[in-house]
């Protein structure tokens, strides 16, 4: 009421309406966020499962507040249809009213809550004005289609940076359309104090960021792979002709594997010597003995091997420590995740290291998937490793169908039987996920033939390549790609709605016998009956993997 009175509207009659009282936070009321973190960690984790429907102990959910707001809107429609009404309320009530006025889906609500962008939030003194009238054409719609967002803000120039700034009315006022999103309406954007700041807020984390002028390296860790040759030698304890005979009996080409191993060893030596020559402390760790403690305290981590070594190294890095992949056998390894190919002729590591120290590079940011688990008692726990490429959930026995209940974002859940489900990041969208989603020339040709469409081989090839390219998306995307592998569709399990697509959050409750969660093919944990796995992009800055790019 005090805030309403300060508006100074002549002739206005204000009254308190219990339907729009502030949200009841129950046991969390009057607690700071720090106190909640200390005393109610389990509740905070439960809140993250669904912020819209979560109700704190003794309190109410935002969904319940939305019901109160909905009832108020009905009363206003009946009693004030020929009058002007102003509602003054707290932020949670404003959020609840937004969900009703904008016909906002749960997906959109969660996206706005988690975006962190100023234009998506509710601020003190924030005024939202909805209209059915198109400001461009003057056409009137049957429901709200546009919103005007206005915020009173103080601005400061250089001379007044330490003094009181001038109040500038309506600096963020604009007419913005309310756009359709899967049948629900939502605000696309609101204006901020300057057009430049809006664009800065809306910009996603860039894929490539210019490197620092200087990179101060005092201590580094080199994670080296165990080559197939080394593995065989250690497995049987043989060498020389005995090892050659043993490997030949198992179908391996001894000389090729030995040459590859020697090339790898030479590359690791060149890498470590380059650091020592520049007075940088270097610690070499085998990938088979890697731990979180082994990489702690390093200024930067280098994986020496191929993509597998890089993936394993990255899985142990849950802090902002940069990771660079070095391909130590480029003749026999593709190394798509590696930033540099090391050899003793044209690509010596010393050249790459000098570029790093001079700042002649760009940072490359890769999003990762975070997996949380909820058991049947409601206890939440998080897996210690993040997925850089993909998460695959299925029965441990590949011949046995996987039975589970799945939820994509906030859509209605459904039960599947399939060969499992694969979720990937933008980085992993060009790997296993791309193969799983791929269509083939024969399929495209059969569809065109069924349509009596005259086509050539070139047309079929172009269409196939065009469709398959749609499976790959940027490495810094906050979306996950998902695909259900070989779903069983019959009279019991009808057609499924969510076969393939993108999502911000995927939850999967096991209904199987021996299901497992597999991360990047190197880490696996059981998913027992009734336990739910929740996957989403860990886009907090400290969890985004920072790698190196030497491209011009």
pLDDT at residue 1, rounded to an integer? 63
- C-alpha pair distances (Å), 241 with each of 35, 244, 246: 67, 5, 8
pLDDT one-digit tens code per residue, 156-168: 444 433 333 333 3
Judged against a pLDDT cut of 60, whether residue 51 lies above it is answered with yes
- C-alpha pair distances (Å), 334 with each of 240, 261, 330, 419: 29, 16, 6, 29
How far is C-alpha 179 from the chain's CA centre? 24
Spatial CB neighbours of 326, under 8 Å, sequence gap ≥ 6: 267, 271, 302, 303, 304, 305, 338, 339, 340, 341, 342, 349, 352
Provide the 3-class DSSP secondary structure of residue 370: strand
Eight-state DSSP code of residue 492 = S
Dihedral Cα 383, 384, 388, 392, nearest 10 deg: -30
Using CA atoms, how far apart are residues 111 and 51, in angstroms rounded to an integer? 11
Binning pLDDT at 50, 70 and 90, where does residue 191 land? very low
pLDDT at residue 33, rounded to an integer? 66
Higher-confidence position of 378 and 6? 378
Read off the pTM: 0.61
- C-alpha pair distances (Å), 249 with each of 236, 246, 253: 13, 5, 10
Using CA atoms, how far apart are residues 303 and 324, in angstroms rounded to an integer? 6
Binning pLDDT at 50, 70 and 90, where does residue 15 land? confident
Using CA atoms, how far apart are residues 385 and 368, in angstroms rounded to an integer? 10
Higher-confidence position of 127 and 439? 439
Using CA atoms, how far apart are residues 326 and 487, in angstroms rounded to an integer? 39
Provide the 3-class DSSP secondary structure of residue 245: helix
For the segment 485-512, the average pLDDT, to the nearest whole number, is 87
CB burial string 224-262: b at 16+ within 10 A, e below? bbbbebbebbeeeeeeeeebbebbeeeebebeebbebbe
Dihedral Cα 251, 252, 255, 261, nearest 10 deg: -170
Judged against a pLDDT cut of 70, whether residue 552 lies above it is answered with no
Least confident of 81-85, 360-364, 511-515: 81-85
Using CA atoms, how far apart are residues 482 and 480, in angstroms rounded to an integer? 6
Binning pLDDT at 50, 70 and 90, where does residue 117 land? low
**DSSP of 9-53:** -TT------GGGPPP--GGGTT--HHHHHHH-HHHHHHHHH-TTT
How far is C-alpha 103 from the chain's CA centre? 25
**Beta bridge mates, 417:** 403
Using CA atoms, how far apart are residues 527 and 514, in angstroms rounded to an integer? 7
Start-to-end CA span in the chain (Å): 60
Binning pLDDT at 50, 70 and 90, where does residue 169 land? very low
Give the containing element (helix H, strand E) for 163.
Answer: none
Using CA atoms, how far apart are residues 272 and 279, in angstroms rounded to an integer? 11
Least confident of 5-9, 186-190, 215-219, 370-374: 186-190
pLDDT at residue 310, rounded to an integer? 94
Least confident of 95-109, 312-326, 446-460, 502-516: 95-109
pLDDT at residue 162, rounded to an integer? 37
Judged against a pLDDT cut of 70, whether residue 444 lies above it is answered with yes
């Amino acid at each position: 009421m005090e805030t309403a009175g300060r508006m100074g509207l002549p002739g206005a009659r204000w009254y308190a309406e219990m339907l729009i009282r502030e949200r009841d936070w129950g046991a969390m009321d009057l607690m700071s966020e720090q106190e909640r973190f200390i005393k109610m960690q389990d509740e905070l984790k439960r809140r993250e499962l669904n912020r819209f429907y979560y109700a704190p102990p003794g309190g109410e959910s935002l969904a319940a507040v939305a019901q109160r707001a909905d009832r108020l809107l009905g009363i206003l429609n009946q009693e004030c249809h020929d009058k002007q009404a102003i509602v003054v309320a707290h932020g949670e009530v404003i959020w609840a009213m937004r969900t009703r006025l904008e016909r906002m889906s749960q997906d959109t609500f969660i996206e706005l809550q988690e975006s962190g962008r100023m234009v998506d939030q509710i601020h003190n003194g924030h005024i939202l004005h909805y209209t059915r009238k198109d400001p461009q054409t003057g056409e009137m719609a049957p429901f709200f289609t546009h919103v005007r967002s206005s915020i009173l803000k103080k601005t400061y120039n250089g001379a007044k940076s330490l003094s009181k700034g001038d109040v500038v009315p309506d600096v963020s006022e604009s007419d913005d359309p309310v756009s359709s999103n899967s049948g629900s309406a939502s605000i696309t954007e609101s204006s901020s104090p300057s057009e430049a700041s809006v664009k800065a807020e809306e910009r996603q984390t860039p894929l490539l960021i210019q490197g620092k002028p200087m990179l101060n390296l005092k201590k580094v860790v080199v994670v080296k792979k165990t080559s197939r040759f080394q593995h065989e030698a250690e497995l049987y304890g043989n060498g020389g002709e005995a090892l050659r005979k043993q490997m030949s009996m198992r179908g391996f080409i001894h000389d090729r594997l030995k040459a590859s191993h020697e090339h790898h060893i030479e590359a690791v030596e060149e890498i470590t010597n380059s650091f020592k020559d520049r007075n940088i402390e270097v610690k070499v760790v085998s990938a088979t003995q890697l731990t979180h403690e082994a990489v702690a305290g390093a200024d930067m981590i280098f994986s020496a091997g191929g993509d597998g070594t890089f993936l394993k190294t990255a899985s142990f890095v849950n802090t902002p420590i940069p990771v660079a992949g070095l391909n130590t056998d480029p003749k026999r390894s593709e190394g798509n995740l590696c930033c540099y190919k090391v050899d003793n002729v044209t690509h010596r590591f010393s050249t790459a290291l000098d570029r790093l120290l001079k700042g002649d590079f760009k940072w490359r940011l890769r999003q990762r998937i975070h997996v949380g688990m909820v058991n049947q008692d409601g206890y939440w726990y998080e897996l210690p490793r993040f997925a850089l490429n993909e998460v695959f959930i299925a029965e441990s026995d590949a011949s046995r169908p996987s039975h589970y209940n799945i939820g994509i974002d906030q859509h209605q859940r459904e039960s599947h039987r399939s060969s499992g489900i694969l979720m990937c990041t933008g980085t992993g969208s060009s790997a296993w996920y791309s193969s799983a989603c791929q269509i083939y020339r024969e399929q495209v040709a059969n569809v065109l033939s069924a349509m009596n469409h005259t086509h050539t081989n070139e047309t079929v090839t172009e269409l196939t390549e065009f469709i398959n390219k749609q499976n790959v998306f940027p490495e810094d995307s906050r979306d996950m790609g998902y695909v259900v592998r070989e779903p069983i569709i019959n009279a019991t399990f009808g057609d499924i709605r969510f076969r393939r697509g993108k999502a911000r959050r995927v939850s999967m409750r096991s209904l199987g016998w021996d299901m497992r969660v597999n991360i990047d093919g190197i880490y696996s944990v059981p998913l027992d009956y009734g336990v739910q796995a929740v996957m989403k992009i860990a886009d907090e800055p400290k969890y985004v993997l920072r790698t190196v790019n030497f491209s011009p």
